[in-house]
Structure 1
């Protein structure tokens, strides 16, 4: 049985459509798979020849999840406890054996499945394709050894044609070995390499292999790692049918006539592979249907030879350009390719590409790196993508996380080098959503470099071929914080040649990062948050803060007894060893809202603390966009984006895919036109993300006291520069009479009075005593909010089903004379009251002024057995 914790984060959706000539061998547990896989430990069974025969009895083997890891399947079968609960994963407790202690045999497993050859595949050349195995593998089919695979990021293609069953089922057996160098914990006497950084990458030796380095542990996830180091068949296995020549790795290189963008040249490249032992002559044709242009070329191939076929460029008049989020449309063209041998179609493929130019340079006042898209400056409001720690991935999960990403307004994702290069689904969705991707390869400053440069470069080359055609693919980086690397620039130039590159994450106009932990949010405004000095300048690759997940999520990650009072041992373990200071400094900040008597009360207050931290960071970077602030900035990447495991140091959404208030406060800060308040200067500014200016925009600022009485109301008119900021257009004062709490509401309307956006803040009257103090109107003095007068909120709801999804509409109205503060909508199962996940709320944790109404939509793919519940700080109970 698959564990409930594993399935809680998975929504069944229709997987991406595979071509007719591809058979997925995905197991039934993942994204609509149809195969049954089994697995057994290596030393308990015989040879590959015997195991890979159809009459082999595997009835007593364990069910296996493919794609997945050995540990994922052992947990699903309840052989080992769920690592993501409480202290189950703690290495010292030895509840789950660690690869470094057991030796490789313990986690070396045979995986086995049987499948029929589709009728339409008969008479074709058949190739077994392995999209990802960690780390080495022996592959057997119907009693025959097909070959071996190595490296986590290499796709393997093995010829299955001679060994396919003439009738009946085919038996496929794969013996998977763990990494050669699992690494161990770093000696405690080994100090961190920089201020504010914890012990990462274990003893560093896992870096000798081409693998997912964070599997041995890092400070933002389990500090002592994943016990099997993610051994397994972690990506798809497919059977591909073609004629004697196959097509693969298409690539379209765009050259746009800028700045006019009236035309573009599209140079098409595709590989033709002779999958036979005989010479072949073939005609390769490519077409961009929107242009009605075709190109054709004859190619002669020796036995088993692969050639790159390069075509004369196709000219596109008045191209529809691909733009990132909020800059324009994400238009994608179709490319079709076909190869003909004799008079028969041997293979065909279809893919999408975008016409765009992404480049960067150091031509800035401070020599920081500036990105440009289609000739326009591009301010990076990005984040650091972290993979699921046990690779419990699915298209459904990827789609949910990227949909949340686009909703938040984040326009750029760095795939951090201690993780993985993400799936085809990831890149396809980023293409569609307009999210540019920085692809970082698998080396870090905390780990040694790979000992097999040939294997490493082969993994890089295959990865580049896989991702280079995506419109979102915008930048290559060799390593995270490491200068001594295996060179790959020659490969990138040869295989791509259109995408920028730098050697590591903190050079070439990109400085080092921090903060990472909870700090007084006032420090963001005076740029003292980092122990390393000023960081809100130039381009910063890592800058962030945590937020506590909702109480429902907390209850799923540890026993109730450890929730309240806070059990620091458990909380610290679920916080990277206490790295983000959630059980200490963050808790102290929550206590500024008054003492809590339960975990429910504490978690509710904690949403307020995390929300203002997230929004404060984004807004400080907004204010200093380009040359509009008091220093020059070109962008930053939030550290970090998504939770690799359930953890008390949450992000915009929890590992379970339940959003926190941080998602909606980030969405607020990153809306295309946004009015914002500076908590040190007490001024109002308006940020414009669009590539167009706005004239005569009106900005209204109101201040309410704790009794919801208006104490200040002023409107000013301003012009918004293209892709810029109108800074300090209004200054607010807070006399003693406004004490102890003030609410601020900012509204933006266009020149005709139509609403554009609104923002709601709360602040205390506590003075800020300066850096390194725990003081200020964003930090302390919030106890009076415990006695906020009640507000009645009325809710009317409706729901509609469409295309397998249910969309709920909730209209919230505050008919009372008091502000309704931080209202949370919850979509729950009507029987169990458990949260429905993922659920896409258009907004949440909102505050309503007296007499105000707001309509919120909630979309989910879950069945329509749900109820909507309102929660809030000061809701009047009926």
Structure 2
């Protein structure tokens, strides 16, 4: 045989080996997410050994939703009505009244898997079961002790349980939380739901009604994983970025630290090599693993040259490296895990002037503008697409942080992946709340403060679950802060080991705060009003009344417009929700947590709503003004009064009307766009009290040669030029310019006025564009009520790229202001809004002689669509997409 043929045979064998390794890597894990069956325990008398036998008939069992809960399965099988619509939730039996057995279910799944012929291992992995379970496979019980705890992953080596004919039956009996709690209308019901290491909101809160099954079920993903002799688990990447950095600069090296857990389930020692690869660079270490052991192996530090850094939204790119860990035995990949790595470092220090903590990313100080998050869906119907849309909405609000509230969960990796993608820092609470865990005296609670203070019942399980969740999400660049609990610390025997042992060992790179409004985060010593305020406020409150210097919760409105309301309120209940002494509020509105107290006081100055559609429009005016005013007020005091603010709250996991920038169906309301406007990186604004024009610059660099253009308008569109002047602002600062109060008072005394503020850069491109509307001297918007129609508004709609549509609104010079226009992408036939769709701006006002361009993104290509435009003084019209 020639040397050429020998060489080609070697190459051929090498190619086959590479293909084999690639095949192992591509097929080493798959999800069991379809064709499940279930049956309630009350109708199931057989044992787990018998049910898990492939010969046992499941013909009488019903289809099950996995991942999912008992309630999602019942809803899918049309056994219960949609609990998010109207009063339907009241038609579903509550577990407190039925007993736990009613929602205790068997789940079964048939799947194909072979017994490995080469000594490999097969693993069954659960990422979340609520609340406890027993697991059976092919007639054998898999777990030696009860698998307990909602926030605990579990992995079982099932190699020896696999069927010889490859036909396997998995059966899991899932029990509800041990203490389900009485949903008596209190925050977390009677509080006893917190005896479990589980979700607290399921017993009800002031923004949600009880979840009837308390989310019982196999609620998170189930996997089959195949490995070689060694199972590679929980790889860990730490990135250190010393010194102060600037985005888009040539960077000094970053330090990469890497480790992984290696599990050897065999009775013999195993020799091999742990390797990880980042940016084409490999780092490896030879190890010997004892039998029946799990070993944490750390690799040598890597100095990564000129790293592509990860930055929060608005400050720079969200660069992510594809990193791979492998464990190699005898030149074969035994197991591998992929990790996306954002190279960045989070730091904090104490601002003595504000008396609060401040956050740094890569050495740069970041003013925190955040939103409080509960959970994506109250029934735990999580999808990558929904996570992506919700986190994108937060990015589009020009926020830079999301706080995960302590009555929910450690969010799923898919949530964190979306935060990595869109540049949202994450403030992650553990599972405590001041309401359930005893901070306050509460007559709605079953047990006293001293007893509640020691919840949950199983402290060991809490710590075990915390350690596991830390491992699950610690590699994400977005994770910035760990928090012991919402408005209360965990009990001392949880707090101390969590803070002093578990977090330093398993992470050690992030700030840990003992509770969400702790003195260590925000010391309220300078005359502030604490956290809040909650609910609608006069705008001067946000500007002039001092609160916690790092405020973890403030704000609480967000009723949607007519299109949003009719999705979950029955037609007969779609009435204007007046709240006066002579009219009782509609029961469906109150059930969905509408807070009319105060709302009407802000809506009525626009004219008492004529009907529900008029109410929805006027509510949007209030929403926009509220959230623009809130974030502007806090921004006006950056580094003086405040180092950060987190809005309570920015989303709802249920069809509620308290604190949301978009509704449950992912339809944004005006809160989102008011907040987006006020949260611009570089922003021009006006103090509502003294009319002082101010610039705020949240960026790391100064902005020079900006032109400020300020104009006042009468209601008829007559313009008064105020100033057109070059200005500048230093980095991360706020600057006062001049007061326009006297001018606005003069022209708006009778009917109110408009104020248009713009900042232009050296290329005459708009950096910030802000338009205010003001009432008359009596606080009424009489001028708006008699505005002429902007009927000559010119509209251009065209497709500019795959999935993108451009809408251009041009207002002729002789027109009045085209005020508060909502642009929507709708189905051409039904005229219903297409959701989710993203708009770079909305609820826009166009001055005479001006033009606005709105980009609509995520337009479905397979749907015939139109664009609708409707404004305060522009009648609803539909336009085809050219």
- TM-score > 0.5 by shorter chain: yes
Quote the residue 1:765 is aligned against. Answer: 776
1:723 to 701, 707, 732: 732
Quote the residue 1:836 is aligned against. Answer: 834
1:336 to 324, 340, 362: 324
SS at match of 1:39: strand
Q: Please show how residues 144-163 of structure 1 align to structure 2 within 5 Å.
A: 144-147=140-143, 148-163=146-161
- Tell me by how many angstroms 1:650 deviates: 5.1
**CA distance in structure 1 between the partners assigned to 2:35 and 2:383 by the alignment:** 17
**CA distance in structure 1 between the partners assigned to 2:390 and 2:242 by the alignment:** 35
- Tell me by how many angstroms 1:131 deviates: 0.6
**CA distance in structure 1 between the partners assigned to 2:25 and 2:818 by the alignment:** 52
Quote the residue 2:442 is aligned against. Answer: none
Q: Tell me if the contact between 1:22 and 1:238 (Cα under 8 Å) persists in the aligned partners.
A: no
SS at match of 1:605: helix
- Structure 1 segments, 4+ long, off by >6 Å, are 118-123, 567-570
**CA distance in structure 1 between the partners assigned to 2:774 and 2:117 by the alignment:** 67
For the pair 1:234 / 2:219, whether they are aligned, the reply is yes
- Between stretches 507-516 and 817-826, larger displacement belongs to 507-516
- Tell me by how many angstroms 1:102 deviates: 1.3
2:661 to 624, 630, 652: 652
Q: Residue 651 and residue 378 in structure 1: after superposition, are their counterparts in 2 closer, same or farther (change >3 A)?
A: same
Q: Tell me if the contact between 1:219 and 1:576 (Cα under 8 Å) persists in the aligned partners.
A: no
Quote the residue 1:56 is aligned against. Answer: 56
Q: Tell me if the contact between 1:652 and 1:663 (Cα under 8 Å) persists in the aligned partners.
A: yes
For the pair 1:634 / 2:643, whether they are aligned, the reply is yes
- Tell me by how many angstroms 1:551 deviates: 0.9
For the pair 1:406 / 2:395, whether they are aligned, the reply is yes
- Tell me by how many angstroms 1:484 deviates: 4.7
Unaligned ranges ≥5, structure 1: 1-16, 28-34, 189-198, 528-533, 768-779
- Tell me by how many angstroms 1:672 deviates: 1.4
For the pair 1:858 / 2:853, whether they are aligned, the reply is no
Q: Tell me if the contact between 1:807 and 1:857 (Cα under 8 Å) persists in the aligned partners.
A: yes
Quote the residue 2:701 is aligned against. Answer: 692
- Tell me by how many angstroms 1:113 deviates: 1.7
Q: Tell me if the contact between 2:310 and 2:477 (Cα under 8 Å) persists in the aligned partners.
A: yes
Q: Residue 124 and residue 572 in structure 1: after superposition, are their counterparts in 2 closer, same or farther (change >3 A)?
A: farther
Q: How many residue pairs were aligned?
A: 808
Q: Please show how residues 366-385 of structure 1 align to structure 2 within 5 Å.
A: 366-385=354-373
**CA distance in structure 1 between the partners assigned to 2:716 and 2:362 by the alignment:** 51
- Tell me by how many angstroms 1:120 deviates: 9.6
- Between stretches 399-408 and 45-54, larger displacement belongs to 45-54
Quote the residue 1:350 is aligned against. Answer: 338
Q: Tell me if the contact between 2:36 and 2:64 (Cα under 8 Å) persists in the aligned partners.
A: yes
2:273 to 276, 283, 287: 283
Quote the residue 1:520 is aligned against. Answer: 538
Quote the residue 1:251 is aligned against. Answer: 236
Quote the residue 2:443 is aligned against. Answer: none
Q: Residue 76 and residue 687 in structure 1: after superposition, are their counterparts in 2 closer, same or farther (change >3 A)?
A: same
Rg larger in structure: 2
SS at match of 1:557: coil
Q: Tell me if the contact between 2:868 and 2:876 (Cα under 8 Å) persists in the aligned partners.
A: no
Q: Residue 109 and residue 574 in structure 1: after superposition, are their counterparts in 2 closer, same or farther (change >3 A)?
A: farther
Q: Tell me if the contact between 1:547 and 1:611 (Cα under 8 Å) persists in the aligned partners.
A: no
SS at match of 1:504: coil
**CA distance in structure 2 between the partners assigned to 1:746 and 1:97 by the alignment:** 55
SS at match of 1:20: helix
Q: Tell me if the contact between 1:837 and 1:860 (Cα under 8 Å) persists in the aligned partners.
A: no
- Tell me by how many angstroms 1:713 deviates: 2.8
- Tell me by how many angstroms 1:150 deviates: 1.2
**CA distance in structure 2 between the partners assigned to 1:176 and 1:317 by the alignment:** 50
1:539 to 523, 529, 550: 550
**CA distance in structure 2 between the partners assigned to 1:366 and 1:671 by the alignment:** 23
CA RMSD between the two structures: 2.3
- Tell me by how many angstroms 1:168 deviates: 4.5
2:433 to 428, 438, 444: 444
**CA distance in structure 1 between the partners assigned to 2:77 and 2:125 by the alignment:** 27
**CA distance in structure 2 between the partners assigned to 1:18 and 1:412 by the alignment:** 38
Quote the residue 1:871 is aligned against. Answer: 870
**CA distance in structure 2 between the partners assigned to 1:696 and 1:791 by the alignment:** 35
- Tell me by how many angstroms 1:385 deviates: 0.9
**CA distance in structure 1 between the partners assigned to 2:740 and 2:849 by the alignment:** 27
- Between stretches 867-876 and 677-686, larger displacement belongs to 867-876
**CA distance in structure 1 between the partners assigned to 2:435 and 2:875 by the alignment:** 53
**CA distance in structure 2 between the partners assigned to 1:737 and 1:570 by the alignment:** 39
**CA distance in structure 2 between the partners assigned to 1:140 and 1:800 by the alignment:** 55
Q: Please show how residues 87-126 of structure 1 align to structure 2 within 5 Å.
A: 87-90=87-90, 95-117=91-113, 124-126=120-122
SS at match of 1:348: strand
Quote the residue 1:79 is aligned against. Answer: 79
1:201 to 184, 188, 195: 188
Q: Residue 517 and residue 755 in structure 1: after superposition, are their counterparts in 2 closer, same or farther (change >3 A)?
A: closer
Q: Tell me if the contact between 1:242 and 1:347 (Cα under 8 Å) persists in the aligned partners.
A: yes
Q: Residue 18 and residue 238 in structure 1: after superposition, are their counterparts in 2 closer, same or farther (change >3 A)?
A: farther
Q: Tell me if the contact between 2:244 and 2:364 (Cα under 8 Å) persists in the aligned partners.
A: no
TM, length-normalised to structure 1? 0.88
- Tell me by how many angstroms 1:751 deviates: 3.7
Q: Tell me if the contact between 2:759 and 2:766 (Cα under 8 Å) persists in the aligned partners.
A: yes
1:472 to 463, 470, 478: 478
Unaligned ranges ≥5, structure 2: 1-22, 246-250, 437-451, 525-529, 878-882
SS at match of 1:808: strand
Q: Tell me if the contact between 1:549 and 1:649 (Cα under 8 Å) persists in the aligned partners.
A: no
